[in-house]
Copies of this chain bind each other. A is one copy, B any other.
Amino acid sequence: MTKNKIGKQTLVFNNKPKIISACSIVGVKEGQGPMNTWFDRILEDDTFGEKTWEKSESKMLKEAIVTALNKSGKEKTQIDSILSGDLLNQLMSSAFMARDLQIPFIGLYGACSTMAESLLMGSVFIDGGYGSNIIAGASSHYCTAERQFRLPLEHGNQRPPSAQWTATAAGAFVLSDEKNYGEEPMLIERPMGHELNPKSVINVKKDICVTHGTLGKIIDTGLKDANQMGAAMAPAFVDTVLNHLEDTKRNITDYDLILSGDLGNIGKQIAIDLLKDAGLNQKDLIDRYDDCGSMMYEQEQDVHAGGSGCGCSASIFTGYVYKRMKKGEIKRALLVSTGALLSTISPFQGESIPGIAHGICVEIC
């Protein structure tokens, strides 16, 4: 057993990489949802002034990264590398974002699990002394995802009740090997009618660090319906949570919050059932477990089974979770982004949907 690994799948970050800043940006629909007071910026227009959806998404990711960088008080030249990914073929959002920033770039693909994957890999870099300041990010956009994975928006196709809505959202964290002693300028830009909820203003400043990362393995239960993503990913989430608890010898009651990335309303219920079957106390679970996809939209917003996409957990981790931790309201959280590693053509070749989930433990330190 190596010094920074415990159990089968969990890495331990003994040097406790600090999360010194974060930024969340979401689209119009996400800005109308129940989480809207937690985001740093809500777009007035999902095109973000660009001529193609892909460029809109790339600009949104870049804005999240640059804003997180500005909030961190670091200079661009102090950033050792950017670890980032998205859902687009060949990581188009991330590649064009990184081109503009001229910082060494590591492209990651974990489908919607990418935010936890980038945070995990970034923590390895900081904890191991391979960098002092690392940016971890991820994004997704409803319009790029629909076009790429389903049908162009112009087609106006109907969505089944089990379908999820890819969040138009991006998030970025700055990880550092030293605490951020400066004041964090909030830099919140919000359109008219979305005034900031005083609850989301950070007045108590806690230091937040990443203590563990649990690498996910692929779980594929043979499900082939690409409109049942939550069901396809739930077993991978459950596998990662159970491995995390076993490796760390902890109980779920050791956490104030356990989040899955984008199981949605159906997948969340399956995850609860599976975790209950695995012996976890249902009340303890329901008290602290939620899903970013379920949190993102109101029932009335007509997104059917909830939100999805890399940006879903990216924006909720960097918005809601980060700010509540910064305020001291959450002391320890297990953040598990979930991904469905199907490709644009694998379903047409008769393949089922491989699920994956990477977990990160963050706590006030």
Interface residues of chain A, those whose CB is within 8 Å of chain B, are: 1-5, 9, 11, 51-52, 54-55, 80-81, 85, 87-92, 95-96, 98-99, 102-111, 117, 121, 124-125, 127-132, 177, 215-218, 220, 341-346, 349, 351, 354, 356
Contact = CB atoms under 8 A, between A and B. Distances in A.
Contact of A90 (B103, B117, B341): B341
List 9 A-B pairs, minimum CB-CB distance, nearest first: A128-B128, A104-B215, A95-B341, A90-B343, A92-B343, A3-B129, A107-B109, A99-B218, A2-B129
Contacts of A92: 343, 345-346
**Best-buried of A11, A95, A217, A341 by chain B (most CB within 10 Å):** A95
Contact of A130 (B2, B85, B131, B354): B2
Contacts of A132: 1-2, 5
Number of copies: 2
Contact of A220 (B99, B117, B121, B130): B99
B4 A104 contact: no
21 contacts: A2-B129, A4-B129, A52-B349, A55-B349, A87-B90, A90-B109, A90-B344, A91-B341, A92-B346, A95-B341, A95-B342, A96-B346, A96-B351, A99-B218, A105-B215, A106-B117, A107-B341, A108-B109, A109-B109, A124-B128, A127-B128
Contacts of A4: 128-130
Nearest to A87: B90
Nearest to A147: B345
Given A54-B349, A96-B346, A103-B217, 11 more contacts: A2-B130, A54-B345, A54-B346, A89-B90, A89-B344, A90-B343, A91-B343, A92-B343, A92-B345, A99-B354, A105-B218
Contact of A215 (B81, B88, B216): B81
A121 B96 CA distance: 22
A131 B341 CA distance: 24
A160 to B, nearest CB: 22
A90 B349 CA distance: 15
A345 B51 CA distance: 14
